[in-house]
Structure 1
Amino acid sequence: MFSARQVLGSMVGLTAAVAGIGAVAIPTARAATAAEAVAIADIQGTGTTSPLVGQTVTTSGIVTAAYPSGGFFGFYLQTPGTGGSLDLGSHDASDAVFVYQPRSAGAVTVKPGDAVTVTGAVTEYVGLTEVSVPAATDIVTDGTGTIEPVVSQWPATDAQRESLEGMLFAPQGDVTVSNTYGVENFGELGLAHGDHPLLQPTEVARPGSAEAEAVRADNAARGIVLDDGSSTTLRPPTSRTIPYVSNTAPVVVGAPVDFRGPVIFSEGGSPSAPTYRLQPTQVATADPASWPADFGNVRSDAPDERKIGRRADLKIASFNVLNYFTTLGDADDDNVGDGGCTAYKDRSGDGNSVSGGCDQRGAWDPADFGRQQAKIVSAINALDADVVGLMEIENSARLGETPDEATNSLVAALNAAAGRKLWTANPSSAELPDASGADVITNAIIYKRAAVRRIGEARALGDQSGDDQAFGNAREPIGQVFKPADGGAPFLFVVNHFKSKGSAGPWPGDGDTGDGQGASNESRVRQATALVSWVSSIRAETGVTDVALAGDFNSYTQEDPMQVLYEAGFADSETLSGNEEYSYSFSGLSGSLDHVLLNRHAQRRFTGSDIWGINSGESVLLEYSRYNYTGADLHTDSPYRSSDHDPVVVGLTRTAG
């Protein structure tokens, strides 16, 4: 855990505009002797570190932001007459600096607009140039003034960003939320200049290609952190409240950002990986009124029917249910784990979700399960699909429970919420291998009997589950042939959950090569190949011409496993629709691991698709697993953050058009 100063990714700024101060004359650039008067630009220099590090200097400027609380212990100082319209092609040295005033030097009493002269040692801290003052007497307020915020093109290179370090800055053009994950620990939001978030390179370009490298370069040029003006580590569980997370003013990936005023362009973060960032001019708290920007509300109550298509007679969907386990970590709700289970605990020491020690992976106790189930039920019913493929649901047979117990439990809850017997669970296939060797999570299918009818028995690719076979390290694909209840052509619906990217499988090509596809790429290629072969055999056996593959393929759209499916004649629904939506957010980059693919014949029935953005872009603090993790009660029974993956919905006509 970083100390308050180490997380300095938080230093901030306020508003101001140009005036002289007439205090200490500031000479032109030259080496400083002890306590010599030096211009701020000469302290900063044109490199990444100050040329005067270790020297004692005197400098003057106008205070643009001061932090009497929040752990920054200091203020930003900018040279009078600087700022305004700048050409970053010729502006090579910042005219602002952070003045570090440690506790031993007394409380920060200067205010934005004060004209101040300071004397202290030049230091570098987490990428930020500072003047560190040893005593309050080394800070002299001798007037007032204003500073005009910098107005310029977006600083896309490190050199341009370094030239703005510490300066009052007014962002220009579109800015979009790209990452909400850092809010939980450090009060940080990831932003992207432009009208869309940063993208996974292999979502839009082939791995290792020049196009993928261009996406990486674009991410580097557009990305920036919005900090909270505080160096306080917020890592939950904590009694503190967290900025940039709210149910009444949601901050979601993809939301447009409208700055209310200028901010400080700064640097900070982890000592091992400092980043350029924007600091608000006052500490941002849980109160949206304290935030430096307004965020557009991009939430929706349901999938977009216009994207799915008004002609759709049926809707099929993919939904990852985030380890929905009815076998709990502590079934008796006494905070004592069952079967060796250990818990992630809230700020009261009560378990929320299982952290390890047992086969269970979901909710800790009945109260936690109730919160998890309420969100999932709300989401699936609002999804309004007719056939839904589920991933990460408990493999009840593997845990010694009645087969399909978890799926049946979810269906019962869905029907109770709907007020009628709307949903039915498709039974597990007899083609699955013995559950004793299976994963503790599995795939499942639920459907509306009023919309579709089953044809034949449930199917599964159950003969490739050995350690030396394609699905030895992944969940077996399951399938069912359905036909529209009101008449129409049948279709084979297959649910998939390929091997994850996080660990290497047994095959020679499973190591992470650094091309963006992560670990176990060969495993996923083998799984895609086996899937194509199995689906072909079912088509030949049943005569069904239309096939939909749904699920979490753990592969972004342009990666190798997806190419196997494309070459077999399948097309991704989002590619067909051209919506440019994404189902997953990781490390501040958006992409789709979740897909619904249609074979050539089924594409003739396609009316449109939508990725319903209720999960991946939302703060993790809204999950059931983060209940009572902060000083604010953020839980609701709404769909938002019911999982970490967004559902994909596809519209189909009854027959091929």
Structure 2
Amino acid sequence: MRSTHPRSAAIAALVATALATGLLAGSADAAEGAASADPVRIHDIQGTTRISPLAGKQVTGVEGIVTGVRTYGSRGFWMQDPDADDNAATSEGIFVFTSSVPTVAVGDAVKVNGTVGEYIPGGVSSGNQSVTQISKPAVTVVSSGNALPEAVAINEYSVPAEYAPAGDAAAGGSINGLTLDPSRYALDYYESLEGMNVRIGTSRVVGATDPYGELWVTVKGWENTAKRGGTLYGSYESQNTGRLQIQQLAPLAQQPFPAANVGDKLTGTTEGPLDFNQFGGYTLVARTLGEVRPGTLAPEKTKAQAPGELAVATYNVENLDPSDPQTKFDNLAKAVVENLASPDIVALEEIQDDNGAKNDGTVSAEQTLTKFTAAITAAGGPAYQWRSINPENNKDGGEPGGNIRQVFLFNPARVSFTDRAAGDSTTATGVMTEKGHAALTHSPGRIDPANPAWTDSRKPLAGEFVFRGRTVFVIANHFASKGGDEGLTSVHQPPVRSSEAKRLLQAQAVNGFVKEILATEKNAEVLAVGDINDFEFSGTAKALEDGGVLYSAIKSLPKAERYSYVYQGNAQVLDQILTSPAVKNFSYDSVHINAEFSAQNSDHDPQVLRFRP
């Protein structure tokens, strides 16, 4: 299970690594190991950049009032100097890492001796910013029951509109060495409050409660608002500065975290120290947590296709395998029938093999699909048939042993599948001419599976369907994930998005295949569908659309409805259906049934397109 606050006990080793890589300012001084016997203030430790000028040094007699105590995960406490300086760039709060359960209490006045360090959640390779802290502390409680420093109000007026400064090119794009400008940049503003006691008022939830006891709010209720209450991520420059992650100081085992959906309100005052963690960046760790006031959000239902319309859907069902509870199968099936109105063709992503993550060489998914299609029939849906190609064992990425793959479901009462020399995991399908029309050499077949673009990734599945005498080509995709990309709060600005390179190659391969079809038959109707794992404005999408052979149909929706996934409070597009020019007069629906809700059957929202071939 993921630790909410993973923190290695080997803080000194991390600091040494950061020193060696030049991440810590003043590293030459720190390397000398000179210790200062003079008491210093917290704002002296924090300094005016992200890196402490005292990193690596010993400090003594650092005074503060304890504002929060964490007894789980990364154990320690926050303290704050109530006597602030007049420099807005210097934080008055700091985390003291004790490694064991702290013996102090909120309201204690303490003096701390210890080593100043810069802890990087996730390690240097993550690209995350560091947290200035004191480790290996000797703590003296001077008095108890003191009033806490007044919390700084974070609101729409205090958070700047610009997200982050551009990184220093000479430092590899890092913002570490830049003097904080909290009146101009949101990331600088949050950094200037690192470790301090902060509060927010009533705020809209823009990221539903997750299994780790976290939710996201926005303190800017007007910022890029989605139709259903979220906050849209519409471009690489639209970072949504008002987003803030909320956790609580109490362990989940002692105090359950409230369940909230997008559009709900976190009411009243939420107050506590401002932390920075690996899985979301700046986080208000609530000592006092507001109450969730539920909104009216409900899962959407798309309209049914007309008799002459072909309905094609894509749905990532999140690692579905026979060991999952029957309730997951039933809920996913109910969604296909009731929320998606039983599409004629459904491209599924993340169907696992018959024993899921058990890594024993099994690659067949017959049991998974039998169980799922039976659940759909039991929910009142059609008796779907399926077509797929088993992957080579552990060659398509995803959960080891799971062997995820794409699958076509189709309703034989409405559409037929053209079986044509079905390919295998390593055989590429091609395009040929049959009776003057384009046809696949293998249906179902994989597109260019030997291409290095698909190494350790899902290979596209192509199929030929016939609806009312018209052939429609469908390509089911699941592009490489964003794993390895730096977060929006990265120390590098703009963040490094290393995973894009692979998706770009994948998009070029699919685009090239569509061009082959259209070169053979100009007016062929082609749909490229699936979990593209990238935005509609991304280079991946542009590569898929190259030459005008495909169009990302989600762009036909109003901007406030363009999303299929919610990540760190950003409603964004990952799932897409792209159409060739001959697919005209279509209707498109991103059917929001999962991503906005704390209770999910998948973390993706399915997409449906209807048109008349």
Bucket of the pairwise TM-score, normalised by the shorter protein: 0.5 to 0.7
1:477 to partner: Cα distance: 1.0
Give the match for residue 384 of structure 1: 341
For residues 149 and 450 of structure 2, the distance between their equivalents in structure 1, rounded to whole angstroms, comes to: 69
Instruction: Kindly indicate whether residue 560 of structure 2 is the aligned counterpart of residue 570 of structure 1.
Output: no
2:142 is the alignment partner of 1:139: yes
Tell me the number of residue pairs that the alignment of Structure 1 and Structure 2 aligns. 490
CA deviations on 1:352-379 (whole Å, 9 max, x unpaired) are xxxxxxxxxx344xxx352432232122
Offset at residue 573 of structure 1 (A): 2.2
The one-letter amino acid of 1:6's match is: R
Query: Aligned with 1:424: secondary structure?
Result: coil
Asked whether the 8 Å contact 1:35–1:119 carries over to 2, the reply is no
2:573 maps to 1:592: yes
Deviation string for 1:86-141 (max 9, x for gaps)? Answer: xx9x623234455678879x843454xxxx543332543532445987455x3224
- Supply the AA of the counterpart residue of 1:596: I
8 Å contact from structure 2 (residues 593, 605) kept in 1: yes
Question: Which residue of the partner structure matches residue 378 of structure 2?
Answer: 416
Residue in 2 that maps onto 1:583? 564
Question: What does 1:399-478 correspond to in 2, within 5 Å?
Answer: 407=369, 409-418=371-380, 422-426=381-385, 428=387, 441-447=405-411, 449=413, 452-454=414-416, 460=443, 462=445, 467=450, 474-478=459-463
Indicate conservation of the 8 Å contact 2:332/2:601, yes or no: yes
Among 270, 275, 282, the alignment partner of 1:267 is 275
Percent identity of paired positions between Structure 1 and Structure 2 = 17
Q: Which amino acid aligns with 2:472?
A: L
1:165 to 184, 189, 194: 194
- The correspondence for 1:55, drawn from 51, 59, 65, is 59
> Structure 1 residues 321 and 130, CA, compared in 2 at 3 Å: closer, same or farther?
closer
Rounded to whole Å, the distance in 1 between the matches of 2:48 and 2:479 is 48
Larger radius of gyration: 1
Distance 2:390 2:8 in 1: 50
State the partner residue of 1:558: 537
> Aligned residue for 1:524?
507
Task: Determine if contact 2:205/2:260 at 8 Å carries over to the other structure.
Answer: no
1:645 matches 2:607: no
Does residue 534 of the first structure (1) align with residue 536 of the second (2)? no
Q: CA deviation at 1:70?
A: 8.0
Cα contact 2:216–2:568 (8 A) shared by 1: no
C-alpha distance 101-292 of structure 1, shift in aligned 2 (>3 A): farther
2:151 and 2:199 in contact (8 A); partners too: no
Local SS of the residue matching 2:514: helix
TM-score (normalizing by structure 2): 0.62
Distance 1:159 1:545 in 2: 52
In 2, the alpha carbon distance for the partners of 1:463 and 1:274 equals 37
- Say whether 1:6 aligns with 2:7: yes
Distance 2:151 2:305 in 1: 50
Kept in 1, the 8 Å contact 2:7–2:73? The answer is no
In structure 1, what residue type is equivalent to 2:607? V
Alpha-carbon contact 1:532-1:565 (below 8 Å) kept: no
Q: Deviations over 1:62-106 (max 9, x none)?
A: x544568887454534416x79xxxx9x623234455678879x8
Partner of 1:277: 283
Look up the match of 2:316.
Answer: 320
Task: Give the Cα separation in 1 of the matches to 2:477 and 2:330.
Answer: 24
- Is structure 2 residue 248 aligned with structure 1 residue 228? yes
Aligned to 1:294: 292
**Distance between the aligned counterparts of 2:390 and 2:6, measured in 1?**
55
Is this contact kept in 2: 1:595–1:648, CA < 8 A?
A: yes
- The Cα offsets for residues 289-343 of structure 1, whole Å up to 9 and x where unpaired, read as xx445375575233365xx99999664321223344xxxxxxxxxxxxxxxxxxx
1-structure distance, mates of 2:110, 2:392: 71
* Aligned partner of 2:79 among 76, 84, 99: 76
* Counterparts in 2 of 1:97 and 1:453: CA distance versus 1, 3 Å: closer
Q: CA deviation at 1:411?
A: 2.8
Query: Corresponding residue for 1:625?
Result: none
Of structures 1 and 2, the one with the larger relative CO (CA 8 A, separation 6+) is 1
**Structure 1 unaligned spans of 5+:** 9-31, 206-211, 235-239, 283-290, 325-361, 484-488, 505-512, 620-639
Deviation at 1:522, TM superposition (A): 1.8
Listed as ranges, the matches of 1:605-644 within 5 Å are: 606-614=586-594, 616=595, 640-644=599-603
Provide the rounded CA distance (Å) in 1 between the counterparts of 2:454 and 2:529. 17
